[in-house]
A and B are shown apart, each in its own frame.
Chain A
């Protein structure tokens, strides 16, 4: 048993320097009806993307509580993506309008905490926009790779 790499992505990744070969950890909140479907379409269209993101499915982007976002940062996410249906397309009438308002607030707090704006992003992705989803993950991964690990990352988390 080896305690030192308990939180590593893998032993190799843990041993590697953080600059090259380092994969950021991205938490993507997706709503069931649009952006999760967009991620599915990315798969159906075989739009390749870095293996850096983990999707957390919620029924509507309106479900995303700012606390979930900070929870993700505090648990070591290098970036958190808030995604949902395009405005007007929310399956629950206007959940994403609420998301938009909450997101403003989130942005401010993130700014206060010194989190770079690349680390918290909002994007509306429809169920047919597989390529957009893949590009989004790729772009964010590139941006975060340049920034390096999140300042909020707890010690010991890679």
Chain B
């Protein structure tokens, strides 16, 4: 058994899995076949549905991965084979020759600059050129040059050799050879991602025309780091297009070319790309041609609605058969609008093909060479109950290698895979790791020397705020010893630049003007630490979320405000003092709330990782909604899954189950929570270091809708599910989708209802082929591989009728359903024995828990995760995690993945030896303290206490009370400092002096400066 894991694939899935494992005590090898980690996410401009800048959220993870002492990065390396068994695998890896010594290369880029050979740049999806020796993108990790052996003139023809001549550190090595190495690991995680579908296979779409491009190419056009710096132009003539069309499902939902799956993400990325394009150029006319719009995830439907209402993006229900290129080389399409039946012809300047996700070649290669089973679609085969386990024990899978999915689902699965690998190897935890070392802090010189780094954030800041102007302004501010601009302050090369600037200019305070400290502060604080500065000498000035993004149309005002924000940050930072965290012990036990499938899975995973868990369930029995189900969507029986889980839970000594129980009180914080659980009227104290919220959701009761509650023939899909456990005698069954969802009160999509409906339709048809089943839908959202079910249902004769939201079906007397078929444009009457209403899951009693743990809810009262993309199972509050339908409706395999993910995240805490307390705590100035005890009554954590002190003042000596604050208990909220009547308490890092300086700086206003060529003139 080995305490190490090999993660294959360095996209966001591999990165997350590696970070989780490395953080919970395992040596991790991250193997990536490209020169840099980052995967396809690194090529994205923004992410849906928040339009968060993809690189901005990815880059800190890249840097963290590159820096982690327990992650060994094997980039530009391929896995040849995996052999062995769970606990002891041998992984053969070929380190491809880069022809550059990565130990020597500094990533300075001189070679790239001087290289005469230009090659199509895959990072920009072939729309620009790079050099034959290159670093794939600015934020690349590792930041090492690679020679493209197929294109290099020296390696192909023996001529040139320029890069070797110009390389200062002598890193270029034309003699380098591929090297094979063998890794001994306990477990393997496959995160091999996908390959974008190549649309040349569909000649009717004329991908040969320069103005027919893929969605990935369009994404690159939108990106500031793309070939056109974020300007959407036509490849043919460089002009700005007016009319743009997206064709959906190119390479998806197409049995003719053996692509039967739905790629899950294309509807949303097309929507996202359209919105961003409109933000760049509001004049653009954009149409999205689609079959169904699959906006099934959290906040997706809202995003889709906004695209239509706020951005005027047109959605046409149609699948154009071809792209027509006329004699003048212009583009047009003939299509039938499925909603009206009309035939139309329309000209377009630019056509974007929304390409699907194909299994990657390496997925297939590794699967074949190592005997790992694939499913019908070519993805790594898994099951609903074990969504990250491959056919080989000890080898796990995550991300798109397992099936198409979006980033949050990928990240959750990655953590889930990490959890499984960690529980397999839990005995070996900590045997192969090293501690992270930082250099000693340098002595602070008495005068502040502030360095200011102003970020363009691609065009996120730079297109609104005049960044050079802000830099020049910063140079005029007191204490500023250095100021400069950066394209992406969070990229790895920027960290090097910041460290160099600190050393060169002897900086002792650092201000980065970029984005929110809520996501990026830790990254820059670590950079400071690596440069020998205490992390509390750092301040972020948020000129993106609070400035460029909210004043997009007022560039001058935004620039002035950015200057003001920087000025405040500089003024405050000058007062910063080094602060230190304390180490306190933690409770290595977890609490899981909710005993459904998610809660049981989370509890089991944590228990199998070797920690004690208390599982709290409000009902008499564990099982939750799994008990209500009579068939899984792969045809398997839910009882078996339930039985298996129940058995494992009851057999596991690490799990204590409390039934008919409710958490009533919680206090404490990360690592040290204390709670009271009321179980059958008895109050039981529970101590825990981390908690997982898995309280699920409940079915929406459609009271009063379509006669529900009045007519017994009108039931919900959940009731039908139960009924089908025994079978039904009904001959004509009509299902109505989106009842109580995608409307004014509940804007969101129920996500699971389409799959549930299709599953039950199939069951009815299989039991009785004569039965007629109608499904009245708005969009069928059987995303991913569940598209297979939709196809099965149609093959079995289930009739799907699309209705328009404005013309809802009508149910009379609980039996006659009248629906306006929007495709045929006529009313259809269906005499039904059973009318089934598909309703969404709605939030359960989340409000109570939200109060207990102080964790936020979203507007639909589901829990709000820390970040919708990259922290899908975390809360902003440390030590509390989330999984299953408590976050948003979910299919069972997704809930299970998330549960394992939450367990993995919890284990990154439970596996620690100690917890670091807050560094920015409050301290008492003893001389000023009058011993009144106000702070003692104010503090919710009992951090301050009074003690007897002897005071000598002039001639008199007397005893009095003084307060002192226990730094290990203080959380740094500063309430005591605000309440102290004597002003004796200093809330460090947020002291009245520091706040006062910031206010004062604000008051000074922004002085006007005029910028000459080399000189800066300040008008004061």
Q: Given the known A-B contacts A44-B51, A45-B50, A93-B940, are A63 and B990 also in contact in the complex, defined by CB atoms under 8 Å?
A: yes
CA distance A93 to B673 in the complex (A): 13
CA distance A11 to B979 in the complex (A): 40
CA distance A25 to B561 in the complex (A): 11
A91 touches B854 (CB 8 A): yes
B560 touches A10 (CB 8 A): yes
List residues of chain A with CB within 8 A of the CB of B667: 93
Q: Given the known A-B contacts A5-B1019, A58-B995, A98-B979, are A91 and B550 also in contact in the complex, defined by CB atoms under 8 Å?
A: no
Selecting from B150-158, B199-207, B541-549, B733-741, the interface stretch reads: B541-549
Residue of A nearest to B980 (CB): A65
Shortest CB distance B429–A (Å): 31
A124 at the interface (CB under 8 A from B): no
B1020 touches A6 (CB 8 A): yes
Pick the contact of B975: A8, A63, A72 (CB < 8 A): A63
B178 at the interface (CB under 8 A from A): no
B996 at the interface (CB under 8 A from A): yes
List residues of chain A with CB within 8 A of the CB of B974: 58-60, 62-63
A104 at the interface (CB under 8 A from B): no
Shortest CB distance B350–A (Å): 24
B858 touches A128 (CB 8 A): yes
A49 at the interface (CB under 8 A from B): yes
B1005 touches A8 (CB 8 A): yes
Q: Which of B51, B279, B1007 has the most CB of A within 10 A?
A: B1007
B938 at the interface (CB under 8 A from A): yes
A51 touches B561 (CB 8 A): yes
B859 at the interface (CB under 8 A from A): yes
Pick the contact of A34: B558, B856, B977 (CB < 8 A): B856
Interface string of A49-73 (1 = CB under 8 A from B): 1010011111110111101100110
Pick the contact of A157: B978, B1003, B1006 (CB < 8 A): B1003
B551 at the interface (CB under 8 A from A): yes
Residue of B nearest to A39 (CB): B546
Number of interface residues of B (CB under 8 A): 64
Shortest CB distance A107–B (Å): 16
List residues of chain B with CB within 8 A of the CB of A55: 542, 546
Number of interface residues of A (CB under 8 A): 64
List residues of chain A with CB within 8 A of the CB of B650: none
List residues of chain A with CB within 8 A of the CB of B52: 44
59-96 of chain A: CB within 8 A of chain B: 59-60, 62-65, 67-68, 71-72, 75-77, 85, 88-95
B71 at the interface (CB under 8 A from A): no
B877 touches A43 (CB 8 A): no
List residues of chain B with CB within 8 A of the CB of A65: 977-978, 992
B1004 at the interface (CB under 8 A from A): yes
Q: Which of B558, B975, B1020 has the most CB of A within 10 A?
A: B975
B975 touches A56 (CB 8 A): no
Q: Given the known A-B contacts A54-B568, A92-B975, A95-B973, are A43 and B549 also in contact in the complex, defined by CB atoms under 8 Å?
A: yes
A68 touches B995 (CB 8 A): yes
List residues of chain B with CB within 8 A of the CB of A2: 1019-1020
Pick the contact of A23: B557, B858, B920 (CB < 8 A): B557
Residue of A nearest to B1004 (CB): A7
CA distance A92 to B939 in the complex (A): 9
B973 touches A62 (CB 8 A): yes
Excluding A5-B1019, A102-B978, 19 further A-B contacts by CB distance (< 8 Å) are: A2-B1020, A5-B1008, A6-B1020, A9-B1005, A36-B516, A42-B550, A45-B51, A48-B550, A48-B551, A51-B558, A51-B561, A62-B973, A71-B996, A75-B1003, A77-B1003, A92-B975, A94-B940, A128-B858, A157-B1005
Name A residues whose Cβ lies closer than 8 Å to a Cβ of B: 1-3, 5-11, 23, 25, 27, 32-34, 36-37, 39-40, 42-49, 51, 54-60, 62-65, 67-68, 71-72, 75-77, 85, 88-95, 98, 102, 126-128, 134, 157-158
Q: Which 9 A-B pairs have the closest CB atoms?
A: A43-B545, A63-B974, A62-B975, A75-B1003, A93-B940, A92-B973, A43-B549, A60-B973, A51-B557
Q: Can you list 19 A-B contacts (CB < 8 A)?
A: A6-B1004, A23-B557, A37-B518, A37-B876, A42-B549, A44-B545, A46-B279, A46-B550, A51-B560, A56-B999, A59-B990, A60-B974, A62-B974, A63-B990, A75-B1000, A76-B1003, A89-B851, A90-B854, A98-B975
